[in-house]
Amino acid sequence: MNYDIKKYAREKVETITAKLDDSFIRSRFDDPIDEAARQFTHKADCPIVYRRMFHKVIAEFVAHIYGKGLNARWMASAEPLGHAIDLLEDHYNSTYGRGYIAAALDANDAQQGGIDTVLNQLAEIIKDIEREKYVNAVFTINIDPTDWQLKCEMVGILLEEYKQFLPEHLLRCKPWELANEIPSIMYRYICSDSALQQIVSSPGKSLPAENTLSKLPL
């Protein structure tokens, strides 16, 4: 039985690693969103001084990104303006501050790049959100929160195989102490660029991309 659990735990670690390969995530989210953003055109003047035109452009852009970049036609057919405003309000950042008002001010400022600056950041915001949703889903699907023994076995594998990349305070922990922190371990301490390059260059080892399900103390 112990051998089966260990084997299953290793399969889970390998599955998560494969699904969160950074090149795969880029090809699924970043590349198609970037391509859709490049294809988007508008006829708005720069700067945009009318709120109606600002709303028209950001709504069309968001519908285009979800429809063409992510093939999420349900989103494109929903209420793109409301979603665009929510994205800006929650995530937009510029020299004018944060949120929707800062984006509107950027759109009205040719020196800041006008509406194109807003659209570029909107594309990045959507990428970040969709990547995070996907990564969180991978961990949720592959880690049964009720299977304590499996989680402990997975932690044991991480502590052993990736110990050169983990801080001392984690290595002193027992697997059961970290059973609920698998996403944090894989994200915060294993998937730094330097660690990733070293592991990728070693036969038979690869690492996942990113996840923000939980955070461990530094």
pTM higher than 0.85 for the full model? no
- Alpha helix locations (H) across the chain? 2-19, 22-25, 31-39, 51-64, 73-76, 80-91, 100-107, 115-142, 148-161, 168-171, 182-184, 193-200
φ, ψ (nearest 5 deg) of residue 26: -60, -40
3 state DSSP class of 78: coil
From CA 61, how far away is CA 47, in angstroms rounded? Answer: 17
> Are 163 and 187 in contact, with CB atoms under 8 Å apart?
no
Minimal CA–CA distance to 13: which of 165, 131, 216, 190? Answer: 190
Which pLDDT does position 12 carry in this prediction?
Answer: 93
| 94 beta partners | 97
**Residue tagged 């909107």 (tokens):** 122
In angstroms and rounded to an integer, the radius of gyration of the C-alpha atoms of the chain is: 21
pLDDT tens for each residue of 114-128: 999 999 999 999 999
Which pLDDT does position 127 carry in this prediction?
Answer: 95
Which pLDDT does position 21 carry in this prediction?
Answer: 83
Per-residue pLDDT of the chain (218 residues; tens, 9 = 90+): 456 999 999 999 989 988 888 888 899 999 999 999 999 999 887 778 789 999 999 999 999 999 999 988 666 566 899 999 999 999 999 999 999 999 999 999 988 889 999 999 999 999 999 999 998 999 999 999 999 999 999 999 999 888 887 888 888 999 999 999 999 888 766 555 444 444 333 433 333 333 333 333 33
Which pLDDT does position 195 carry in this prediction?
Answer: 45
Beta-carbon contacts of 86 under 8 Å, excluding residues fewer than 6 positions away, are none
> Are 19 and 208 in contact, with CB atoms under 8 Å apart?
yes
pLDDT tens for each residue of 192-204: 544 444 433 343 3
